[in-house]
Amino acid sequence: MQEKWRLFWAVPLPASLRRQLVEVQRELGFSPRSVKWVEEENLHLTVRFLGDTEAGQVDPLREAVAARLTSIKAFSLEVEKLGAFPSLKHPRVIWVGVKAHPSLFLLYQAVEEAVRGLGFAPATQPFSPHITLGRVRERAVVPGDHRWAERSYTFTPFLVDELVLYRSFLTPRGPIYSRVAAVRLSGA
């Protein structure tokens, strides 16, 4: 039986944007007992979570996704407002949204088709592009007035020129991500 790896496809973020997002985490000022912030090196834009996958699927995944991304050229994305899942009133995940861009949705669609072609189940949630900043700890409370989400930030747009397949190692201190494959977009 092959070893299982916890995998996901994501857009990596440039260091300058990751630093800006860490500054937002600090400015929000929630107690570390209330929110577990995503470490700077782990900030990314998830395109498709795959979950536990046989390690032998890495090459077929890379090849299938690469074949479907040939017509998608590198593009820029803009990060916009703060938000929360499932709602601002009862946040479990605090995130920054990504401005809708047709190429991002084409990228998602291409990845979805590729992974389904390899036998993965369809995505269970509609694609909602965001960058997770932190997760509210169980039974923790964040300010209920959600004025924190009304703060305005200006982020530097960033270039999407590759898609990375990450392996996630879950540890008591938080996840550790490692790149196991990457696909460059055309024109990158």
If one looks up domain 4-184 in CATH, what number appears?
Answer: 3.90.1140.10
Q: What is the pLDDT of residue 131?
A: 98
Q: What is the pLDDT of residue 88?
A: 87
Q: Is the pLDDT of residue 1 over 90?
A: no
Is residue 44 annotated as part of the catalytic site, yes or no?
A: yes
Domain boundaries defined on the chain: 4-184
Q: What is the pLDDT of residues 118-149, one digit of tens each?
A: 999 999 999 999 999 999 988 777 766 678 88
- Find the catalytic residue in 44, 90, 101, 146: 44
Is residue 90 annotated as part of the catalytic site, yes or no?
A: no
Q: What is the CA radius of gyration of the chain?
A: 17
Q: What is the pLDDT of residue 71?
A: 93
